[in-house]
Amino acid sequence: MFFRVGGNVFLEKMTKKYKGIDLFCGIGGFRLAMEASDVDCVFSSDIDKFAQATYEANFNETPVGDIKKVKPEDIPEFDILTAGFPCQPFSYAGGKEGFKDETRGTLFFDICRILEYRKPPMVFLENVKGIVSHDGGNTLATIISTLEELGYYPHWTVLSSLDFGLPQKRERWYCVAFRENIIFEFPQPLGTHPVLREIVEIGDNSPELALSQLELERIDYHFAHCHECQRVRHDNSKYAPDTKKGKYGVFSFQKPDGSLRFHVGDRAKTQIQEAFYACLDTYAPTIIANRTPKLWDLRRRLSVLESKRLQGFPDEFIMPVSDCQALKQLGNSVSIPIIKSIMRKMIFAYEKYVVIK
């Protein structure tokens, strides 16, 4: 909204409809989703100093450090709690002593004590897909039952970023919870799968992005011999005979989508994947803190700019850290488009309930 004073026109800062907090905020993936959904972020927290620097560079505020040292009463009132919380193993205590004992010592407990004190109407959590099966399903059962004990109605699913506009097969667990028994449906896949060609700067031949000589040699070896057999066996004499690679050998094969996979040939271990090389016309594997996707056809790994795009961050997003730290931060982040989509659905469901009520 604009207003005029004398001969000058000014942009009035509008008050956002909701307030949110960003726990374990990293570099601000959830915050970008908040800003796209008319939510004012009133508190953020992350213990990593490098993530704090990136967050500050983009949002002009430094997140609070260790959440364990923050009292719930010191956090401003809010409507939405978001958290991509670290999944530390914790045991299932059989429901004998309540949620505090079941989750004590984990960072999930810090979410719980804030929810118990503030009782916000909406909660949005994210974690790795493995949380579903961790400890035989007991970890997830504890999380869900704890939210219910706190007065929430949780909804959860596993979704892939590949289904929401990003050329990355990144499957993550998402949970939305309300303090009312609200009807909620997660967003449906878009029905199209983008490819890396859409985000890659093909002309970027920066030397620091090049694959190692060993990697290049074995990629070339695969394509020189793949006409002889679909599954190419590589020289494993350089590996100690008592290691898996030395004992079972290393093999490569190309999938129909064009990606090139290397694996250790231990069939008893379902052929352990040793390396994954994407190409321009397929998707990337999940970008994680210690692994940047690589392309065999460009013979290099993705740059920081391309990795930002892989997670849905805008090109202008500032990363005032080393490339190594930037890639680590992006690997630890959430995928922006899917977070935006879920948050819009969450707020819409809440608003619809309030109107009907």
Q: What is the DSSP string of 188-250?
A: PP-S----GGGT--TT---GGGBPPHHHHHHHHHHHHHTTT-SSEEE--TTS-TTSHHHHH-E
Contact (CB, 8 A) for 152 and 144: no
The CB density around residue 9, as the number of other CB atoms within 10 Å, is 9
What is the amino acid identity at position 130? G
Tell me, yes or no, if 87 is annotated catalytic.
yes
Length of the chain: 357
Catalytic residue from among 25, 41, 87, 112: 87
Helix residue ranges, H only, 81-212: 98-103, 107-118, 138-149
- What interhelical angle do 49-59 and 323-332 show, nearest 10? 90
For residues 165 and 188, what is the distance between their CA atoms, to the nearest angstrom? 12
Report d(CA 235, CA 115) in Å as an integer. 56
- Residue 77, CA atoms < 13 Å, CB-side half-sphere: 2
CA distance 333 to 172: 11
Q: Which residues are catalytic?
A: 87
